[in-house]
Amino acid sequence: MKILLAILAGLLCGVLSGFGIGGGTLLVLWLTLCAGLEQRAAQGVNLLFFLPTAASALVLHAKNRFISWKTTIPAALCGCVTAALGAWAAANMELGILRKLFGAFLIGIAILELRKKDSSTGSHETKQRKN
């Protein structure tokens, strides 16, 4: 039953990740608040989780030519350096502080998400205003 629930949580978060809207953030919340994992362990599971999910979504996105490789390459190169630094910082931080930092980060993200406008109507309105 526990495993079934885990598969289901993974499935749901996987669909969101495939859309590119933060399935991972939700999974870390699930793991810490509902499944009782420690903050760092939950983060580790989520990193693992992202690999197959992203790889499978990526194949389809690449086929549909949605990926801007000239953006990807410099971003990934630079990001790998800061990812290593960030992961090192997380490993050397007190768990309670990491958890609170994550909480603050989530609230910032939530505000961004809630303020998001419907992209199709949003761009249409801008165009009309310009004309």
Interface of this chain with other proteins, residues 49 to 108, rule: CB under 8 A: 49-62, 64, 66-91, 98-107
Residues 107-126 that bind other proteins (CB under 8 A): 107, 109-114, 116-119
Taking alpha carbons only, the member of 3, 103, 94 closest to residue 40 is: 94
| Dist. CA 81–CA 83, nearest whole Å | 5
Closer by beta carbon to other proteins, 117 or else 127? 117
Q: Least distance (Å) from other proteins to the CB of residue 130?
A: 16
Q: Token digits for 64?
A: 């549909």
Q: Which residues contact 64 (CB under 8 A, 6 or more apart)?
A: none
Taken in order 36, 39, 44, 48, is the CA torsion positive or negative?
positive
Closer by beta carbon to other proteins, 70 or else 129? 70
Residues 13-42 that bind other proteins (CB under 8 A): 13-29, 32-33, 37, 40-42
Q: Least distance (Å) from other proteins to the CB of residue 1?
A: 11
